[in-house]
Amino acid sequence: MALDAHRAPHPRGALTTDQGVAVDDTDNSLHLGERGPTLLADFQLREKLTRFDHERIPERVVHARGAGAYGFFEPYESLAEYTCADFLQEPGRRTPVFVRFSTVQGPRGSADTVRDVRGFATKFYTRHGNYDLVGNNMPVFFIQDAAKFPDFVHAVKPEPPNEIPTGASAHDTFWDFCSLQPESTHMLMWVMSDRAIPRSYRMMQGFGVHTFRLVNAEGRGTFVKFHWRPKLGVACQVWDEAQLAAGRDPDFHRRDLWEAIASGAYPEWELGVQLIPEEHEFAFPFDLLDPTKLVPEELVPVRPVGRMVLDRNPQNFFAETEQVAFHTANIVPGIDFTNDPLLQGRNFSYLDTQLLRLGGPNFAQLPVNRPLTEVRTNHRDGQGQQLIQPGTSYSPNSVGGGCPFTMGGGRLAEGVFEHYQERVDGQAIRRRSASFADHYSQAAMFWHSMADWEQEHITAAFAFELGHVGDRAVRRRMVGNLVRVDAELAAEVARRIGEPVPEQEAAAPAPEVPRISPALSLAALGGSGISTRSVAVLACDGVDGAQLSAGRDWLAAQDAAVAVLAPHGGEVSDRAGDGVPVDRALSATASVLHDAVLLPDGTGALAEDPDAVRFVAEALRHGKPIAVLGSGRELARAAGLADPQDTPGVAVPAPDGQADADFWRHVTHLIEQHRFPQR
């Protein structure tokens, strides 16, 4: 073959740089001391991240598939005691934002409902410049040091020989990497939970992941963890439901966000912070700089400080959602970094990515990235330059109109950025702090905090994923890691994938983290009300029109989205001979696109319709609320619901058969709970 001369052999021996220099350590960045900042002198890290950032064009290497919207943030109170950040100073003053949600692994053409981490990135257009809070829907990550980020992404991406699988982690290379990197164990517990398949972006938490630092006007620092909590509560899909949704509507999450905003049902989140005085940096049984660890809310409560509302859709997906550029190093006065080695590497990598993806250094001039405050720089030229710059481009100068000046020398004016001052010293070394060495305690805490049904879903997810791994050594090694989390979990996963049950090793004394953190369970994260919940009302000729109308009107008054579904489009005739408009034919939708089902009297005839029976059977299997009235019992029975009266999550009227206000209040309460997994 003509290409054979260009095929590289499998490498043998020690890794080298592109210049052929042997590398001594591929797992750790060059730090100033074990817990100090990452050094620019680390040419190996810069080469590795640069090559990784530039390996694909034009879509993002990660977070390629996403959806975005505009809105505003307003604080509840002033946080001037802790930070001089402009957007956290004045209660009620609104700061414009743009938010982009995304999946991590798959390309732009992949489905929304895959099992994956979700990005939750927020750009604040503050009066002192743009601030980007670039987070995820999980509070921890797979790795501790940015030097491992290219390795992690290469492992989770589709495998090189066949570009399979798309938007999925159930394959050998991902689990090989994780089994060899036990620091990923805590994050794996989150990804194997239902958190990895959210019901919608609007019902998804967000986290800043890293420990950041707030700085007040006097220069005093406070460690901070950022949390976004959805007003609608946290809701997720189950695995079977997510797979069916991907087939029925691969744009399910994009469409949900767009249609909610377009209809005026603006999604809202509350910003919360965990504030930790700097003198308490070493007060925890884990390292605050370790991005594979969270701070349990039982140790540091989350303090609500403001709300964010998304109220405007983009007008052009490419110009706005696709070209928006987020960067962890886009900070403003009052917010600064810590020496978290993953964050330090992100601060290099994100800018480097944008230089390639958006064609050069002037991407900040694109409308969606442009600050609202005036920009004054000495930057000139470059690809994508949109401005005709006057004057000189060096500093200091006294000709050509002069140049912008810096604000140093004495106390700085409001809105001028000054780095937080801290003492750092130590040797330049590639070694991770011993305080990062515990990889299992918080993974175990997460597991023990789950409800029984959540533990079953996690167990099934591990079994599904590892069941797709062909290399038995990888499977056994991964199950061996799970023993350190919980012996029963490991034994059950091993049984389901046909591997021997590993022996539980005598573990070293674990740090004293809480055994259970109730705030981690989905059971504790419900919302109030049923606003925007999608309720499917099944109908056919002969349906009780008055009952259907009563249910539809009641649910609509609670701000639920109600859709009448029937065997065909157009209209059906109710038992009084009146026409009932049909929103969609059953053959063109599915129960996985709705949150609850109402079967009015008169729908018993649908027991002979396979689309209707499948619709109800899927809703029943996925634990969704179902209201059954009159002959709707016949359809429910055909779908496998033998006893509606005593089935969790199923509402039936009182013995007299009347659907009164108490009945509809009960239906509302069931929908509010979202799902009944015990079914």
In angstroms, the CA 459 to CA 443 distance is 14
Q: Kindly report the CA angle at 229 between 226 and 232, in degrees rounded to 5?
A: 170
Is 254 annotated in a binding site? The answer is no
**In the beta sheet, which residues pair with residue 312?**
70
DSSP label of 121: E
313 among known catalytic residues = no
Is 326 annotated in a binding site? The answer is no
Q: Give the closest residue to 421 by CA, choosing from 430, 412, 434.
A: 412
List phi, psi (to 5°) of 253: -75, -40
Collect all residues with Cβ–Cβ distance below 8 Å to 393 and sequence separation of at least 6: 378, 379, 380, 403
* 322 residue type, one letter: E
List phi, psi (to 5°) of 306: 180, 180
6 among known catalytic residues = no
CA–CA distance from 611 to each of 24, 593, 603, 614, 677 (Å)? 62, 14, 13, 5, 24
User: Is the bond preceding residue 396 a cis peptide, omega within 30 degrees?
Assistant: yes
Is 100 annotated in a binding site? The answer is yes
DSSP label of 58: S
Sole residue written with tokens 């099992």: 115
- Catalytic position from the list 63, 128, 186, 594: 63
- Catalytic position from the list 28, 31, 128, 136: 136
List phi, psi (to 5°) of 215: -130, 125
Characterize 53-81 residue by residue with b for buried, 16 or more Cβ atoms within 10 angstroms of its Cβ, and e for exposed: beebeeebbbbbbbbbbbbbbbbeeebee
With beta carbons less than 8 A apart as the criterion, state whether 206 and 497 touch. Answer: no
In angstroms, the CA 619 to CA 635 distance is 13
The end-to-end CA distance of the chain, in Å, is 59
Is 357 annotated in a binding site? The answer is yes
DSSP label of 319: I
What would the two tokens of residue 202 be?
């609007």
What would the two tokens of residue 607 be?
């027991």
List phi, psi (to 5°) of 87: -80, 0
Q: On the CB side of 420, how many CA atoms lie within 13 Å of its CA?
A: 24
List phi, psi (to 5°) of 473: -65, -40
CA–CA distance from 197 to each of 190, 310, 668 (Å)? 11, 21, 24
Q: Kindly report the CA angle at 322 between 373 and 348, in degrees rounded to 5?
A: 65
E strands within 373-446? Answer: 428-429
Q: Kindly report the CA angle at 94 between 88 and 96, in degrees rounded to 5?
A: 100
Listed as own residue / partner, the contacts of 151-158 with beta carbons closer than 8 Å and 24 or more positions apart are 151/26, 151/177, 152/177, 152/181, 152/184, 153/52, 153/61, 153/62, 156/104, 156/105, 157/105
Ramachandran bin of 359, using left for φ above 0, alpha for ψ from -120 to 50, beta for the remaining angles: left
List phi, psi (to 5°) of 495: -60, -45
Is 177 annotated in a binding site? The answer is no
DSSP label of 520: G
List phi, psi (to 5°) of 337: -90, 170
DSSP label of 198: B
Is 52 annotated in a binding site? The answer is no
Collect all residues with Cβ–Cβ distance below 8 Å to 679 and sequence separation of at least 6: 620, 623, 647, 648, 649
Q: Which residues are catalytic?
A: 63, 136
Annotated binding-site members for heme: 60, 100, 149, 346, 350, 357
Annotated binding-site members: 60, 100, 149, 346, 350, 357
